[in-house]
Amino acid sequence: MYQRKNYANSPLIFHIDVNSAFLSWTAVDLLNKNPKRIDLRTIPSAIGGDINSRHGIISARSIPAKKYGIQSGESVVNALKKCPSLVVVPTNFELYKHYSKLFIDILRSYTPYVQQVSIDEAYCDFTDLYDMYKDLVKDNLTYPLSLAHEIKDTIYSKLGFTVNVGISTNKLLAKMASDFTKPNRVHTLFEEEISQKMWPLPINELHGCGKSTSLKLTSLGIKTIGDAAHTDLEVLCSILGEKHGNYIYYSSNGINTSAVSSSKRIAKSYSSERTMPSNLTIDNYDSDIQNIIQHLSQNISRRMIKDNAYASTIGITLKTNHFKTHSTQTSLLISTNDSNVIYSTAIDLVNKELLGESGLFMKGDTIRLVGIFATNLDNGDYRQLSLFDLF
């Protein structure tokens, strides 16, 4: 697997796409209500329409359903002819909005620069954030793959569905990468990989190349993305017009200048948490906890500074090996967004919660998740001055 080397100073964009979103979210919801039922994702199933009235259109289907040739957009009637045992579940947009929000909330816990482009996909900008996530690097998984796998696995462990993550230096290539082999995969498509990974693909697989455009190009012998990349720009413009010709030429060469546009939202609180690769115990506590709390504090601080937000309450959340959640918080005399203040406050709370006389370690518990939250926000206009601020 390709490992990018110049991660610290290069633009870094992720495209994250939920695998079979409507079906996955429905399956997760049904399993949450009844863990003993069959997972829709493991049987021929589909979303859309009504199996009793046999009306409606298929909007999503499982991988087993795809083996019967069932396609999104075809009628329920035709789908049932192909697979009479097909399980069809009606659409539920309120459910989809619920899981979409949870999905986006997790992405925003990693970076404030998130652009949601549909209910089940988003771009994330991680440019210049290497220092926040360098501790995720492993011997067999270097940055940014380590971060992508962390996000992908966190979404699955917390929400129960899988995503694909595409990584590159711009949105176009990240989107192309996320569309490679599915499900539950991480792919890169950096500039030096374009000739190997993108150019051999059919021209209709170029993101933004519509059906009529691809048919026109194919009829003229431009069959692959690589063919388009090596066709003179003026020739493409004469075939497609200036606007479309320019798009096909530059996109097929991996050139895209569109920035991740994250809409500003008013936060009620900021939080960041980390699931341990192995449970935190009293034996490995001292060596691990400081790095974890520092990382989480920096994550929260960076997002608060960007939003010009200050918190007067800092809290911590701990989840034990028994899946019980323990939270505690404290109020500050002066609201803050300083990572050092957040860190020192959080580490004191964690020490008391774990190492106190009735602490969790004293009870024999181990810790599988550590989180920090900052709340009771203001914009800094009414912050109380300390004596030292006057000098």
Quick: pLDDT tens for 364-385.
888 888 999 999 888 765 454 4
Quick: pLDDT tens for 310-354.
999 999 999 888 778 888 999 988 889 999 999 999 999 998 888
DSSP E strand stretches across the chain: 13-18, 45-47, 60-61, 87-89, 114-118, 121-125, 163-168, 186-188, 270-280, 310-320, 325-336, 367-378
CB-count exposure of residue 306 (10 Å: 0-12, 13-18, 19+): middle
DSSP helix, strand, coil percent of the chain (3-state; round to 5)? 40, 20, 35
Residue 120 labelled as part of a binding site: yes
Compute the distance between CA of residue 147 and CA of residue 157 in angstroms, rounded to an integer.
Answer: 15
Asked whether the predicted pLDDT for residue 89 surpasses 70, the reply is yes
Q: What is residue 131's predicted lDDT score, i.e. its pLDDT?
A: 84
Quick: pLDDT tens for 176-230.
999 999 999 999 999 999 999 999 999 999 999 988 999 999 999 999 999 999 9
Q: How confident is the model at residue 130 (pLDDT cuts 50, 70, 90)?
A: confident
Q: Nearest CA to 100 among 175, 21, 26, 163?
A: 21
Q: What is residue 391's predicted lDDT score, i.e. its pLDDT?
A: 39
The catalytic residues are 121
Indicate the angle between helix axes 233-240 and 242-252, nearest 10 degrees. 140
Burial 38-51 (b: 16+ CB within 10 A, else e): eebbeebbbbbbeb
Q: What is the mean pLDDT of residues 302-317?
A: 89
Domains detected in the chain: 10-198 (3.30.70.270), 205-252 (1.10.150.20), 270-390 (3.30.1490.100)
Q: Other CB atoms closer than 10 Å to residue 13's CB: what's the count?
A: 27
Quick: pLDDT tens for 257-271.
888 876 555 567 899
Q: What is residue 157's predicted lDDT score, i.e. its pLDDT?
A: 96
Quick: pLDDT tens for 6-52.
555 679 999 999 999 999 999 999 999 999 999 999 999 999 865 55
Residue 381 labelled as part of a binding site: no
Q: How confident is the model at residue 359 (pLDDT cuts 50, 70, 90)?
A: confident
Q: How confident is the model at residue 87 (pLDDT cuts 50, 70, 90)?
A: very high
Q: Other CB atoms closer than 10 Å to residue 140's CB: what's the count?
A: 8
Q: What are 39's two structure tokens?
A: 């997972």
Q: Is the CB of residue 326 less than 8 Å from the CB of residue 317?
A: yes
